[in-house]
Structure 1
Amino acid sequence: MKILLVSMNNHHFKRWAEQLEGQGFELHWFDILDQGKATSLSFMNPITDWKKGFLKKRGRTLVKSKFPQLYNKLVKHYDVTVDIAFSKAIQNIKPDIIHCFEMKIAGLKILSVMQKNQLPLIYSSWGTDLYDLNVLGIKKEQAREFLTRVDYLITDCQRDAQIAMDLGFQNKHLGVFPGNGGLDISEGHRLPVDQRNYILVKGYESAIGKALTVMKAIELVPLELIQPFKILIYSADESVIEYVLQSKILSKLAYKIVPRSENVPNKDLLNYMGRAAIHIANSNSDGMPNALLEAMCMGAFPIQSNPGQVTEEVIKHGENGFLIEEVNDHKKIAQLITESLRNTSLRMAAQEYNIGFIAKNYNRDKLRPQIINLYL
């Protein structure tokens, strides 16, 4: 069976695709953003380097910055469009199934081509893909048109399956699967609660991410509670970095900032999670966050936003984590952080429950045969 996967190159896609490696499929990857060849995806046949029609190796950035109007004319005249490149890929490969990951980045870009054929189309929704169309600049009419062409749907939460149906999807929902195809379950690097000395904060600040609210909340936590911990702010946007560096209160704490541009390798992040007392992530739009599932797997107590009630699919507030219901209420978030640090017994019970829950429901090895069967 020939499977044509359409996606950007990122960690979650790589991990999903690896579940199909060595299973008898002929795998092809259409690099939708034309990011270039990736050695980590060498087990698939790549369709990359398809876009550039001029200055293919160097000089494009210079022309774009110095002569933007000329650059736009050259792009329009010489660069290859997604329609042309993707149509050619289908013609050459003759796939049995096409699987696209994310609607805005992949699905909408190949829709015009897919509307001209009857090939089975699987669509995996990720993150905020379906929940908040406005923030992504997607019109409901576009989403409806795309979902009408989708034959099979995979979501990372139950919420988004219902949203898709509300938008007119009438075909088969294949089920809920983590976007990365599951987690490796390992006992390594998990410390007991009384030895955990980190607090992890996801540092996204944007129209969606709300890390600044978390930093303001941390400033309100009693110093005697939080000073024993080291704070790791990972994937931090510039506004978050500036705020932390200028905060007199945060200067009294031990912290490390990793800018978003300096992506923490997933293995290192998991190690930190295994040493973290709590993991905090705050956003006003998301699917089922992979970072949340990883934190739970590694025993960190989760304090997580709950857009559209998605996170309550895995967290029972006050039992195995805390839910942030008001993403801009830093005082309430401060109360949640304070309570979690004071209540060691709660964190111990949550760690035991969460590790078992993830092992049962998100174990990569257990999910592999289910994922393979999706394509059969």
Structure 2
Amino acid sequence: MKILLVSMNNLHFTRWSDQLKESGHEVFWFDILDQGYSPALSWMNQIVDWKKGFLKKKGRTFIKKRLPKIFSFLSSKLDVSVETAFEKALLEIQPDVVHSFALYISCTPILKVMSKYENVKWMYSSWGSDLYYYQNIPEYLNDIKNVLPRVDYLITDCLRDHKIASKHGFKGDFLGAIPGGGGFELDEIQKNLKTVSERKIILIKGNQNRSGRALPVLEAIVSMSELLTDYKIIVFGATNPEVTAFQNEKELDITVNGILSHDQILKLMSSSLIYIGNSNSDGMPNTMLEAICSGAFPIQSNPGNATAEVVTHQSNGLLIEDCENMEEIKQHIIYALNNNEVLREAFQYNQTYAQQYLSRDKVTKRTLQLYQSIIPTHESN
């Protein structure tokens, strides 16, 4: 089976595509942003370096920085368009299925080509806020409504997004809700787990941006500092100055970190009693799933009830219903700190859940079955 993946190069895509590494399928990747050859994806056929129509090597960056108007003009006249490059790749490869990751990144730019070749099967994986957030922006909603009727197969990271897709014109086959990164290496994550009684860290995702809402969490933490004298507060992923300013909070044992490596984050999670992630929009939060695998008790926002598909409130975690409400978040933290038995039972439940639904082996097996299910009928005869 020939599979043509269309995506930007990021960690989620690498993790997902690695599931196909020894599948026996012939895998191609069209780098939609033309970011260049990826050594991490060396096992697949990469379609890169397709865009530059002028100054392919030296001088291009110089012109872009110093003479942006001239660069824009030359680029528009001489560079190869996404549609032209993708159509060329499509005709050369003749794939059994095209698989796009993220609608506005990897579906909209190739829609005209996919509409032209309507017999080519098209699969779309939605990520995070791909549908939930962008449906509220008119120009993006137009893209959503134009793309979804052409899509043959849909994979989401939460059941919520299948409902949204159906609302906006998807009539193809829903292949299921699967973790966006293709599951987690539980043996590696869980090899150094601490027991609940050994954990004294409250770990907070520090995003404060379009969707991230770390500030209400930190304000809640500061407002109850007298209850946290026995705990270490660690923030990661902080880039907003308002978040990094909490580093100097004298009443707390708090460390605010910028971007940490994935391994560093997993190590922290394996020692954390509570993990808090808060945003106004997301799919199924991958970081929260990693926290669950790592034994940290999740307190997580619940946009569109996506998180509630995995977390049952006051059972295996706590759901933040108003991501801006500092008082609600404060009460959730107090509840967790005062209910050790809930945390211990959640630890056991979440470890079992991870083994059943989040392990890399099981997710990969399911993923490969999905690809196998869409092989054209004439090939299976």
TM-score (norm 1): 0.93
User: AA paired with 1:217?
Assistant: A
Quick one: which amino acid aligns to residue 265 of structure 1? Answer: S
Segment of structure 1 superposing worse, 274-283 or 134-143 = 134-143
- Say which of 267, 273, 280 aligns to 1:277: 273
Opposite residue 168 of structure 1, the aligned amino acid is G
Structure 1 contact 103–125 (Cα < 8 Å) conserved: yes
Distance (whole Å) between structure 2 residues aligned to residue 362 and residue 235 of structure 1? 24
Q: Tell me, in whole angstroms, the C-alpha distance in 2 between the residues paired with 1:27 and 1:275.
A: 38
Asked whether 1:158 is paired with 2:154, we answer no
Q: Determine if the alignment matches structure 1 residue 355 to structure 2 residue 351.
A: yes
Corresponding residue for 2:304?
Answer: 308
Q: Residue 219 of structure 1 aligns to which amino acid in structure 2?
A: V
Aligned to 1:148: 149
Q: Is the 8 A contact 2:126 2:155 kept in 1?
A: yes
Q: How is 1:83-232 mapped onto 2 (pairs within 5 angstroms)?
A: 83-117=83-117, 118-134=119-135, 138-186=139-187, 187-223=190-226, 225-232=227-234
- Tell me, in whole angstroms, the C-alpha distance in 2 between the residues paired with 1:50 and 1:255: 47
Contact residue 182 and residue 364 of structure 1 kept, 8 A: yes
Displacement of 1:338? 2.2
Q: What are the superposed Cα offsets for residues 128-160 of structure 1, whole Å, 9 maximum, x if unpaired?
A: 111122566643332121001100001111111
CA RMSD of superposed structures (Å): 1.7
How many residue pairs match? The answer is 369
Identity of aligned residues (%): 43
Residue 252 of structure 1 pairs with residue 251 of structure 2: yes
Segments of 4+ in structure 1 off by > 6 A? none
Partner Cα distance (2:21, 2:224) in 1: 47
Aligned partner of 1:366 in structure 2 is 362
1:43 aligns with 2:38: no
Partner of residue 265, structure 1: 261
Moved more, 145-154 or 59-68: 59-68
1:228 aligns to what SS in structure 2?
coil
- TM-score, normalising length: structure 2: 0.92
Aligned residues of 1:221 and 1:337 also touching (Cα < 8 A)? no
Deviation per residue, 1:334-373 (Å, 9 max, x gap): 1211221232222111111111112111222112222112
Residues 236 and 57 (structure 1 numbering): CA distance in 2 closer, same or farther, change over 3 Å? farther
**In 1, Cα distance between equivalents of 2:276 and 2:181:** 20
Structure 1 contact 279–303 (Cα < 8 Å) conserved: yes
User: Could you say what secondary structure the match of 2:361 adopts?
Assistant: helix
Unmatched segments (≥5 aa) in structure 1:
none
Are 1:135 and 1:207, in contact at CA under 8 Å, matched by a contact in 2? no
SS of aligned partner of 1:35: coil
1:15 match? 15
Give the match for residue 28 of structure 2. 28
User: What displacement does 1:219 show?
Assistant: 0.8
Residue 100 of structure 2: SS of its match in structure 1? Answer: strand
